[in-house]
Structure 1
Amino acid sequence: MTPPMTLSASYEHCRLLNARHGRSYYLATLLLPAWKRRHVHALYGFARYADEIVDAFDMDGDRDKALDALTQRLGSALAGDPVDDPVLPAFTHTVRSFGVDHGDIEAFLRSMRADLTVDRYATYDDLLGYMEGSAAVIGTMMLPVLEPLPGAHGTAREPARQLGLAFQLTNFLRDVAEDLARGRVYLPLADLDRFGVTVADLRAPRAAPAVRELVAFEARRAEDHYRRALEGIGMLVPSSRPCIRAAHELYGGILTEIKTAGYDVLAGRARVPYRRRLAVFARHLTAASAAARAERRVPAVTP
């Protein structure tokens, strides 16, 4: 029997998942103090791990069983039992270390399970219900790691939710064709009707004018979520702010690329050019380094 993965190896596995699948966000995490990065990677790694189960093309009915098995292993790991899993040792260590709300974890798993049976959302409110678990709670799970200022944890929660929603809606707009290949439509059906768009229109190699208008409408919703998230950055300790500012710019940059393409999300996947990503990183690096040094400075002790 293979021994359970060590904690260090589990954190490294999560880091690699983040580096491979969340390149923009991974770049932003490099602006965090080193001790915070591994915890952010653990939270990302768990979310990605579950997402890969529900998105797998080659598992069919086994996806439900695989998600059940993950949930069972998670329960055991949270109870302190060793588990044969590459992600859970790091994830549960982070959960215990920062008092991550178990209700947020449960909400996330409910949304992942919804992906096994729900492939359409009638209204934006319905979609928001799904995104509450798939995205908003990721923001609130990250919050204790990012460290709100004293007394700001309660007020910082809503901006953290909004940033998660903004990132998720941006992904939905970028990945319309990819999601449709999995049989899913994350653009609300009421909005498709409003602009005279059918699901068949989303299968075209290029976006028709009505599809572009629909995407522009949803992009404005995403921009509103980004605006509502901004106030939360100042509620974090200084060493976490450059990371979140960079992530805000990088994901917002995907929306900019979508606009530049005339809102045609069917002709190709919108990406922020590598040089621009590096420029965003470099712009925030000095502030990140200064804040990290300031936090490490030991205050003088009066005899």
Structure 2
Amino acid sequence: MDPNQYCADKARQSGSSFTGSFRFLPPDKRRAMTALYAFCREVDDVVDECSEAEVARTTLNWWRGEVAAIYGGIPQHPVCQALAPVVQQFNLPQEHLLEIIDGMEMDLDQPRYADFKSLQLYCYRVASVVGQLSAEIFGYRDRETLKYAHDLGIAFQLTNIIRDVGEDARRNRIYLPMDEMQQFGVTADDILNARETDNFRKLMSYQIERARRYYRQAFDHLPAVDRKAQRAGLLMAAVYQAVLDEVERSGCHVLRERVSLGPLYKVWLVIQAWWRN
């Protein structure tokens, strides 16, 4: 199969809100973002789909070898074959792709986070790094845009964490900082057994406000000169912020159900954001 077609199929099968914004990009940047997204999905699937940690770890090490081959060899996997010309065209650092794999590997070793500082490293690796790679593909003139990409990545990952608390708990993972859970009187047992108490809702409101703060910080960092080039990220942000709003409207009902937006509503949000930006 053609490597770019493989990546397009992988992105389409994910059903992610991210991919909808790619259609607004020029063809070369659309292919680049699709290949980057497919890479992230592949390494994330290793951790989510392997039942044995050591098998997952071995597979992630294989992916590290594939990343090395992108920059100085002949990669075997179609995703890495699609990425090879992308990293040259957009000057994407090898260490950033390796950081993404390191972030995925954290899920094998760390199902809990003591505080937000420790969670930040995870968010940086699995999301901020992706944001900065995306910023390179979209293009920028002011390096302040990389700070925007960093904070927007954190905001996206915090939104995912908030939306997926129940889904993650069913994998025995809790990404809510343990010290904040203690502060609000919520135990790991409450999360794992889907007890949506008033304390849990207060804890989630606190998490939602932090995510919104990161969105505000990101937008404040984005220079006007790069706003048009980074428009695809702003379209994604419109959808993800709407997810936060929906979680809040639902009463933070995320332990038993996954809050989601309808496809037509997401299209409407993207069109609105396009005209605003």
2:17 alignment partner in structure 1: 24
- TM-score (normalised: structure 1): 0.85
CA RMSD of aligned residues (A): 1.9
- Checking the alignment, whether the CA contact within 8 Å between 1:25 and 1:247 is kept in structure 2 is yes
**In 1, Cα distance between the equivalents of 2:52 and 2:83?**
24
Q: 1:244: how far off?
A: 2.2
**In 2, Cα distance between the equivalents of 1:173 and 1:54?**
20
Residue correspondence of structure 1 range 119-130 to structure 2 within 5 A: 119-130=111-122
Identity percentage of aligned residues: 27
1:180 alignment partner in structure 2: 169
Q: 1:206: how far off?
A: 5.0
1:147 alignment partner in structure 2: 139
Unaligned stretches of 5+ in structure 1?
289-303
Equivalent of 2:44, from 36, 51, 65? 51
1:151-208 CA distances to partner (integer Å, 9 max, x unpaired)? Answer: x0x2111110011111101001111111122221111100110011111111334511
**In 2, Cα distance between the equivalents of 1:100 and 1:39?**
11
- Checking the alignment, whether the CA contact within 8 Å between 2:201 and 2:252 is kept in structure 1 is yes
**In 2, Cα distance between the equivalents of 1:216 and 1:105?**
33
**In 2, Cα distance between the equivalents of 1:286 and 1:200?**
45
- Checking the alignment, whether the CA contact within 8 Å between 1:147 and 1:240 is kept in structure 2 is yes
User: Runs in 1 of length 4+ with deviation above 6 angstroms?
Assistant: none
1:235-283 CA distances to partner (integer Å, 9 max, x unpaired)? Answer: 4262542x22221110111101100101121131111222211212333
Q: Secondary structure at the match of 2:248?
A: helix
1:234 alignment partner in structure 2: 224
Equivalent of 2:55, from 51, 62, 65? 62
Residue correspondence of structure 1 range 1-303 to structure 2 within 5 A: 9-79=2-72, 81-148=73-140, 150=141, 152=142, 154-205=143-194, 207-231=196-220, 232=222, 234-236=224-226, 238-241=228-231, 243-284=232-273
Distance 1:42 1:234, change over 3 A: farther
**In 1, Cα distance between the equivalents of 2:56 and 2:22?**
30
Q: Secondary structure at the match of 2:78?
A: coil
- Checking the alignment, whether the CA contact within 8 Å between 2:128 and 2:152 is kept in structure 1 is yes
1:1-29 CA distances to partner (integer Å, 9 max, x unpaired)? Answer: xxxx6xxx222222222222253111111
1:55-104 CA distances to partner (integer Å, 9 max, x unpaired)? Answer: 1143443111111111112212320x223212111123211211112232
Q: 1:30: how far off?
A: 1.4
- TM-score (normalised: structure 2): 0.93
Residues paired across the two proteins, number: 276
Unaligned stretches of 5+ in structure 2?
none
**In 2, Cα distance between the equivalents of 1:255 and 1:286?**
22
